[in-house]
Structure 1
Amino acid sequence: MTYFGTPGGDGPDSPAPRVERVLVVHAHPDDETITTGGTIATLVDAGAGVTIVTCTRGELGEVIPDDLAALRGDEAALAVHREGEIAGALRELGVRDHRFLGEAGARTAGLETRAYRDSGMVWRADGVAGPTDDLHPAAFCAAEFGEIVSDLSAVVESVRPTVIVSYDDDGGYHHPDHVRANRAAVRAARLAGVPYFAIVAGADEATGAEAAALRDDESVVTMDVRPVAPRVVAALRRYRTQLEVVDLPGGAAGIRYPHGRVDRLASSESFRFVPDPDELPPRPASTSELSDMSVGGRIGTYLLAVAAGAVFGAIGTVAHQGTSSVAGAVLPTGLVVSMAMAAALLVGFRQVFRSRTIVAAVAVGLLGVTALLSQPGAGGSALVPANLAGYLWTFGPVLVAMVVLAWPFLDRGADVQRGRDKMDALPEAKGTPQT
């Protein structure tokens, strides 16, 4: 049975379905049980291969019970203690493959092992988590992003997962380590060509239209985790430093956090398939970036285009007569540079906004300022004299603008070589999401 896709064949003549292999990436010990514990246990029971990667040891986590007060303020001791907590929790869930990022099995070949330190967080005034002001040099968020992705890619190469699961783009509640884990997991998934599923925070509490939207969303996979609830509760009880399991009315279990909030244990866990932008259908050629803007945004963009054209026109008008001497030959370097600038500006706006009208606005600014500055001054002098360079600068940008306006849109679709770094032999990783 597969939950996140179809990594094997579909018909009677297809190869036998391969075992689903799920790589779950989390930031700290206890995150895996709180947000995905039921799914992990369900997958294990179904015979799937499950690998958990934890990015830090949660050295900056709070310590709730007084009998463990000695761990408060002792980051090294708390790190060791939390290693024991997650080991016990994963035993309850049935996981046999757990790796700390940077350690053996989750480190780039040839590099010495390292520990990524908890980056910490602060609660902002709006109730959202944010970064601290004193980030430790060894913190997860201070590490080179490429190093993190490389270490995670080493796990992907070892495990050959059929799916990677981690946070959504805001990390669930904006904790810096969660957000960084999302970025790294998405990048590793894209490099390997493995489907990526993001945890849908709060899905179990959704009601009304929100719940209906989740049910109707074909990209969302929802797990009924009630059958494994006792094991999830047992796993949660292992995290005595971080949380407390409490009994709620009606026989339900809840989780009390250090700041006092109590959440009911989820009866389901949901995950949304996040498609690779490079594999989405290309945007129709007639579609412009301007179509996504408000009226005010469009007006501002047109004004910016005119202003940019005017600036480039002024620079080109002043500089187009410049020359340089090479081996006795006089070269019109000013004209060449001015024409190149004008062409780059027009083509750039065309490609970015995919709109002929925006190019026309650039041309208005460029040609208007050029024409204005071409007029003789009070003393009879002119910035654009009647010589070859002057004529070329007067009419050259006009011709360039006409060509850019008439030329078809340059396709950014499937025919462009994207140069993405893919892993070999992962055809089974192209599963499609199922509900």
Structure 2
Amino acid sequence: MSGSAERVVFVNDRPGLESLLTGGTIARLRSDGAEVIVLFGSASAGFPSAGSLSAADSDVRAAMAALDVSDWRMLPAASGAQSLAEAVADVLDEVQATAVVLGAADDTLRTAAAGAAGSLNVPVFEHRRVTDAVGRLLVAIDVSGQVDQKLRAIAAYPRLWSVTGHAVKAVGPVGSVGRVGRVGPVGPVELPVTIGGTETFLRLSPEHAPDAQAAPGPLNRGLAAVVALLTGVVFGVLGTIAHQATVSIGSVTVPIGLILALSGITALLVGLRLVLGGRMAVLSSAIGLLGTIFILSLRSTGGSVLVPEGIPGLLWTVVPTLVATIVLAWPRIPARPGSA
């Protein structure tokens, strides 16, 4: 819920469930300026066939308009979980998704979407009722300001739902509307239901997201920290040696060495945070870098110094510390999907 930088993909079995299960969260994300893309995994009675979603479908259009969503798609017919996962991954890569929200009950679609998100390092959240996740830590989203939008979106599907006040019930037997009562791997929604001001989600860890990339183990994290430490030492030595270099352009003296040295250490620390996500490697690299700068800035027994007094020397000892502090303290850098 960090605002306009978010690009969240909601995956559901069929039109209608996105409004019932996650309509409030979708509306809140859109009110915060985030991009929302809704994917439907299969067609059902009264809706377009798989592979297309006609703009003439008034129910879907009305629901999406109520939630302020302009991008919704029907996933193509897939012959198996692998091809379905590839189709979902293509969408996630195209929109540069920062999160995936699952409302799918179909095991094939759920597994494919979670696996595609995991392969691209995109966080996965699954809609869960509180009673379906006893003992698990849920993410609760306050959607009290979006309840009216959610109700309008639900009411846009008169062939599925009947809305009276804040109460929603299925139209006809559940079986006649494509098992709309089932919302997840843990059980059905009991209809009628009263729409409240909170929607809850369970964040899936890599071991619960099928086919997701496994989290690095302690050995790999330790090795990464050692490599980052040595890299920081190397950058500290090279930067200390080069930071006093200058180039004269006419009457202007450009501190080319300082510029390259500061650019290099910034790229190193920011790159480690972006690629690895965590702070351990950045901290190790910063320790190697700043420790090396400190040691080399001391006067040697022979009286020579590598970091003489002056503006370049001052900047070389202060700026790396500021850069390391900012990169380490930054609360969250959204993961940018890469290749599987």
- TM-score using structure 1 length: 0.42
Shift of the 426–29 alpha-carbon distance from structure 1 to 2, 3 Å rule, reads farther
1:153 touches 1:188 (CA, 8 Å); kept in 2? Answer: yes
Verify: 1:28 aligned to 2:14, yes or no. Answer: yes
- The equivalent position to 1:148 in structure 2, one of 84, 97, 103, is 84
Q: How does 1:217-366 map to 2 (within 5 A)?
A: 217=137, 220-247=138-165, 252-259=166-173, 261-277=191-207, 278-280=213-215, 282=217
1:167 touches 1:179 (CA, 8 Å); kept in 2? Answer: no
- The equivalent position to 2:64 in structure 1, one of 82, 90, 94, is 90
Q: How does 1:394-409 map to 2 (within 5 A)?
A: none
User: Structure 2: which 5+ runs fail to align?
Assistant: 175-190, 208-212, 224-273, 278-332
Deviations 1:224-274 (A, max 9, x none): 122111111111111011111123xxxx33333422741111321111111
2:17 touches 2:103 (CA, 8 Å); kept in 1? Answer: no
Q: How does 1:372-411 map to 2 (within 5 A)?
A: none
* Shift of residue 146, structure 1, vs aligned partner: 1.6
* Shift of residue 429, structure 1, vs aligned partner: 4.2
2:21 touches 2:103 (CA, 8 Å); kept in 1? Answer: no
Find the counterpart in structure 1 of residue 102 from structure 2: 166
Identity of aligned residues (%): 23
The residue matched to 2:154 in structure 1 has which SS? helix
Verify: 1:43 aligned to 2:17, yes or no. Answer: no
* Shift of residue 92, structure 1, vs aligned partner: 0.4
1:194 touches 1:429 (CA, 8 Å); kept in 2? Answer: no
Shift of the 193–241 alpha-carbon distance from structure 1 to 2, 3 Å rule, reads same
- Distance across 2 between alignment mates of 1:272 and 1:58: 27
* Shift of residue 430, structure 1, vs aligned partner: 3.8
Aligned length: 208
2:160 touches 2:170 (CA, 8 Å); kept in 1? Answer: no
- AA partner of residue 146 (structure 2): V
User: Structure 1: which 5+ runs fail to align?
Assistant: 4-17, 62-73, 103-115, 117-139, 172-177, 284-410, 416-423
* Shift of residue 179, structure 1, vs aligned partner: 2.0
- AA partner of residue 94 (structure 2): S
* Shift of residue 281, structure 1, vs aligned partner: 6.7
Find the counterpart in structure 2 of residue 199 from structure 1: 127
Find the counterpart in structure 2 of residue 367 from structure 1: none
- Distance across 2 between alignment mates of 1:426 and 1:232: 37
1:160 touches 1:426 (CA, 8 Å); kept in 2? Answer: no
- TM-score using structure 2 length: 0.53
- Distance across 1 between alignment mates of 2:56 and 2:70: 17
The residue matched to 2:57 in structure 1 has which SS? helix
1:193 touches 1:429 (CA, 8 Å); kept in 2? Answer: no
2:6 touches 2:35 (CA, 8 Å); kept in 1? Answer: yes
- Distance across 1 between alignment mates of 2:115 and 2:56: 27
The residue matched to 1:19 in structure 2 has which SS? coil
Shift of the 48–80 alpha-carbon distance from structure 1 to 2, 3 Å rule, reads closer
* Shift of residue 37, structure 1, vs aligned partner: 0.5
1:23 touches 1:53 (CA, 8 Å); kept in 2? Answer: yes
